[in-house]
């Protein structure tokens, strides 16, 4: 089933209870309800407040360095021999990923709400770094929760966060990855709800987080739309973005949802292969359930226990996904696919070799799929990859896989 989404229809999602069709909502313990309702009310007010929006836009321009370029990857296009491949360069943002668009927005919200203590969860560490960065700049106390396994495989980012003045809490419970970091962040929030603002790093969590994170990240798609029209006189035929929680993907997709001709591809982490069960692809292979405050597609066992995930990239290693993606999947507006660890690593090497751009391992999933996709398309068509982040943080992982000690 595919539905044509008009601008008017889009305004109805999420609805007043934060639902995108059957997904989303607000499934949290009672202690947090008041804070979430206040946050929703304040956000909806500030969203229309020119002063707030001007402050946000100014930071995006002068602190993040936006707009990020839309770059024609000529050599990659030639080698692929299909559609033109363009790159939206979120890797060039301050701190090296799209995550900062959101942390700037939420830190501004925190300031407007008078909260001085910030908490965040992080997987790859990019959101943790982006949060620690805005906290340093605004003089806010910052606590980052990170799965103990991720602390190990993303040690560079752990050190960056510490340099920025954040306290990094290694989470030892559960599977010691992103989902457990989010559990502990929620627990901290319940205990410190009066003075603490929780900066969630993706379009998941209870309403209004999926809404406000999407709004903050939508700058990616708005710029892409304008830049594509300026540079090529037309809209792209396909957009490709990796999907962990789904924030860089929704940020890219959202401003194009009512453009019927633009195909949307969200690329999940196929890990060792979907059929091995060792992956992190809830949209491709999961089913609806409730976790971390919202209803969405999840990886779980037959008893509703959340399943362990596997991906070579820490930032995609999450058993859930933002509820708006769950909805876009069900109404058929976006396509969700997966690529394996090995394919992603090939994508990483390819972009590095032919364009001199080293993508994050998360992004490498989008690169790998876009290359396959472009090869099946005509030369006069246009594919845009959202290069959500740069690969510096992953050098250790790559070296390790290559058996090189650095």
Q: State in Å, rounded, how far the first CA of the chain is from the last one.
A: 50
Q: Which residues neighbour 389 within 8 Å (Cβ) at sequence distance 6 or greater?
A: 90, 91, 96, 97, 98, 99, 124, 126, 315, 359, 360, 362, 363
Residue 33 contacts which entry, ligand PLP, another protein, none (Cβ below 5-8 A, type-dependent): another protein
- Stretch 245-274: interaction string toward ligand PLP, x if CB under 6 A: xxxxx-------------------------
For residue 162, which phi and psi values (nearest 5 degrees)? -65, -40
SS3 content of the chain, % helix, strand, coil (to 5): 50, 20, 30
Task: Please tell me what DSSP assigns to residue 60.
Answer: I
Residue 305 lies near another protein (rule: CB under 8 A): yes
Which strand (E) or helix (H) includes residue 196?
strand 196-198
Residue 11 lies near another protein (rule: CB under 8 A): no
Residue 242 contacts which entry, another protein, ligand PLP, none (Cβ below 5-8 A, type-dependent): ligand PLP
- Stretch 194-233: interaction string toward ligand PLP, x if CB under 6 A: --------x-------------------------------
- Contact pick of 19, 26, 88, 127 for ligand PLP (by CB under 6 A): 127
- Contact pick of 18, 24, 105, 389 for ligand PLP (by CB under 6 A): 389
From the list 90, 17, 152, 67, the residue with the least C-alpha distance to 359 is 90
Among residues 227 and 311, whose Cβ is nearest to ligand PLP? Answer: 311
Q: Which residues neighbour 403 within 8 Å (Cβ) at sequence distance 6 or greater?
A: none
d(CA 390, CA 119): 24
Residue 93 lies near ligand PLP (rule: CB under 6 A): no
- Stretch 16-35: interaction string toward another protein, x if CB under 8 A: -x-------xxxxxxxxxxx
d(CA 406, CA 401): 12
Find the binding residues for ligand PLP in span 333-372 (CB under 6 A).
360, 362-363
Q: Answer whether 385's CB lies under 8 Å from 357's CB.
A: no
CB of 214 to ligand PLP, least distance (A): 10
Residues near ligand PLP, by CB under 6 A: 97, 123-124, 126-127, 202, 242-249, 315-316, 360, 362-363, 388-389
């Amino acid at each position: 089933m595919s539905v044509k989404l008009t601008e008017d229809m889009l305004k109805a999602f999420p609805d007043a209870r934060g639902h995108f069709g059957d997904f989303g909502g607000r499934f949290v313990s009672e202690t947090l309800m008041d804070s979430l309702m206040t946050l929703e009310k304040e956000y909806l007010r500030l969203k229309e407040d020119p002063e707030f929006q001007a402050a946000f836009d100014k930071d995006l321009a002068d602190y993040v360095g936006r707009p990020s370029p839309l770059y024609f990857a000529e050599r990659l296009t030639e080698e692929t021999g299909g559609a033109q491949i363009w790159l939206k360069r979120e890797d060039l943002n301050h701190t090296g990923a799209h995550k900062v668009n959101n942390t700037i927005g939420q830190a501004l919200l925190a300031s407007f709400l008078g909260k001085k203590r910030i908490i965040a969860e992080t997987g790859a560490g990019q959101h943790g770094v982006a949060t620690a960065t805005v906290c340093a700049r605004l003089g806010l106390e910052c606590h980052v929760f990170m799965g103990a396994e991720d602390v190990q495989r993303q040690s560079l980012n752990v050190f960056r966060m510490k340099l920025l003045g954040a306290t990094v809490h290694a989470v030892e419970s559960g599977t010691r990855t992103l989902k457990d970091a989010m559990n502990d962040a929620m627990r901290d929030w319940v205990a410190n709800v009066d003075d603490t603002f929780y900066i969630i790093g993706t379009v998941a969590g209870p309403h209004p987080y999926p809404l406000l994170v999407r709004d903050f990240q939508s700058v990616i798609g708005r710029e892409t739309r304008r830049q594509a029209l300026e540079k090529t006189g037309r809209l792209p035929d396909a957009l490709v973005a990796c999907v962990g929680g789904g924030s860089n993907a929704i940020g890219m997709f959202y401003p194009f949802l009512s453009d019927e001709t633009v195909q949307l591809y969200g690329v999940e982490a196929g890990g060792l292969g979907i059929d091995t069960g060792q992956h992190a692809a809830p949209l491709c292979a999961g089913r609806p359930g409730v976790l971390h405050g919202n209803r969405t597609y999840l990886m779980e066992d037959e008893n509703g226990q959340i399943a362990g995930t596997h991906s070579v990239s820490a930032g995609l290693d999450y058993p859930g996904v933002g509820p708006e993606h769950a909805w876009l999947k069900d109404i058929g507006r976006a396509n969700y696919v997966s690529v394996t660890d090995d394919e992603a690593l090939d994508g990483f090497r390819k972009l590095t070799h032919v364009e001199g751009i080293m993508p994050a391992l998360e992004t490498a999933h989008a690169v790998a799929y876009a290359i396959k996709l472009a090869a099946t398309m005509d030369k006069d068509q246009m594919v845009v990859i959202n290069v959500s982040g740069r690969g510096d943080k992953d050098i250790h992982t790559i070296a390790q896989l290559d058996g090189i000690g650095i």
